[in-house]
Structure 1
Amino acid sequence: MSATTTPIRIPLASGQSVSGLLCTPESPSACFVFAHGAGAGMGHAFMASLANALAERGVATLRFQFPFMEEGSKRPDPPAVAQAAVRAAAAEAAQRLPGVPLFAGGKSFGGRMSSQAQAQGGIDGVRGLIFVGFPLHPSGKPATSRAEHLAQVSVPMLFLQGTRDALAELELIEQVTSGLGDRATLVVIDGADHAFHVLARSGRTDADVIAQLADECARWLAAH
């Protein structure tokens, strides 16, 4: 399916603006406001590959820069600043694609900031959240406190988690999603780490993983 990627500017409530990339297939079935992680921006190869794969499945994406990434800083924004950027990006997506079902979330930090925004007052128009590697805890420090706010999220949530993710021990992410009941769907990506890389000896490639992630997203989006 052919798609068009358009660079845009997204105005923030602070008066600043950030860069965005709107990838739109013909007659999109949904739009995913796709926030990046703490270590790389919206142009990272993983972000671009997954956005393209989703477009092939009829799903539009709006990638955007958090203010710290726009400014070239390595220090992630405070939660309130990041959450405001998520809300601004969602509002921009709704304006540019009126009537298209809207979902939010993202890779690691971006997903967690989206869930915090949804827990603290909500994101207008968003029907559900997608976490591409939810960062449940720091590496080597297993805990579930970072997920406590998810109890305040009322919309459906999709968790895409690798079995080798050092930031989300599988047993703990299973515990978290089970506790959320019917709101949460957990999809386990065998052999993938937090960056969704797989080892060569697995017999799979990173491209295979991207395709699986896109398939799982598209299937879940169609159901919601």
Structure 2
Amino acid sequence: MTEAVETDAGPARITWHRARRPRLVLAVSHGAGGGIEARDLQALAGALPAHGVSVALVEQPWRVAGKKLAPAPKTLDTGWRGVWPALAAPGLPVISGGRSAGARVACRTAAELGAHAVLALSFPLHPPGQPEKSRAAELLGAGVPTLVVQGGNDPFGRPAEFPAAPEGTYDLVEVPYGDHGFAVPKRAEISQERALELITDGVLKWTGSLG
């Protein structure tokens, strides 16, 4: 089911993949260079509803409008805030999530929106080749239980680059060989299918642990 939502940044769109007996809503948005067709978002939408988690794939207003370049972070946050009431409408706890730029949005807004938790897919810890420009503060400042799912070869931040943090701040699942889009090379020791299973299995285990 697709739902149009008006926001102060323009019309957004939610594509719902509903669980038969949902206990949680996982809302995930795309990055700055792609849409909800991303392999990880589609894998989650296909796997989680059978386990009681409704998945809401959110398209930011700039994507709905057909633009090719994402706006400033402040505008992305505005769009996400505008969609939130529709995500919370089922009356269930909502996990705020996204990939890449969408993960940053989820972290920045989680506390104010009352998110149950944050799922950060391919969190862009720093621009490629510029580790000194760290965005760790956004991740560490989410204020709710957070799961990072990161490719082992992500140029925006490999798992080993992520900062140590107090227990309970965030957990990290590594997808070996994965790049920023979780693509794995053909010579890798795991298949593309297995890489996506690591994502869905990791997220399912984590959602099951949330109180």
TM over 0.5: yes
Shift of 1:29: 2.6
SS at match of 2:103: helix
Aligned with 1:110 (options 80, 92, 102): 102
TM, length-normalised to structure 1: 0.86
Q: Alignment identity in percent?
A: 24
Q: Does 1:12 align with 2:7?
A: yes
Q: Is the 8 A contact 1:8 1:19 kept in 2?
A: yes
Q: Is the 8 A contact 2:19 2:53 kept in 1?
A: yes
What corresponds to 2:113 in structure 1?
123
Counterparts of 1:56 and 1:201, CA distance in 2: 32
The number of equivalent residue pairs is 210
Amino acid in structure 2 at the alignment position of 1:123? L
Structure 1 regions of 5+ residues with no counterpart? 1-5
Q: Is the 8 A contact 2:28 2:96 kept in 1?
A: yes
Question: What are the within-5 Å matches in structure 2 for residues 4-153 of structure 1?
Answer: 6-13=1-8, 16-95=10-89, 97-98=90-91, 100-118=92-110, 122-124=112-114, 126-143=115-132, 145-153=134-142
Moved more, 101-110 or 78-87: 78-87
Change (3 A) 1:192 1:63: same
Shift of 1:111: 0.6
| Structure (1 or 2) with the greater helix fraction | 1
Amino acid in structure 2 at the alignment position of 1:11? E
Q: Deviation digits for residues 48-86 of structure 1, max 9, x if unmatched?
A: 232112223332111111121111212212222211222
Aligned with 1:211 (options 170, 174, 197): 197
Q: Which runs of 4+ in 1 moved over 4 A?
A: none
Q: Is the 8 A contact 1:115 1:153 kept in 2?
A: yes
Aligned-pair RMSD on alpha carbons? 1.8
What corresponds to 2:208 in structure 1?
222
Aligned with 1:167 (options 156, 160, 182): 156
SS at match of 1:145: coil
Structure 2 regions of 5+ residues with no counterpart? none
Q: Is the 8 A contact 1:132 1:161 kept in 2?
A: yes
Change (3 A) 1:89 1:210: farther
Amino acid in structure 1 at the alignment position of 2:113? I
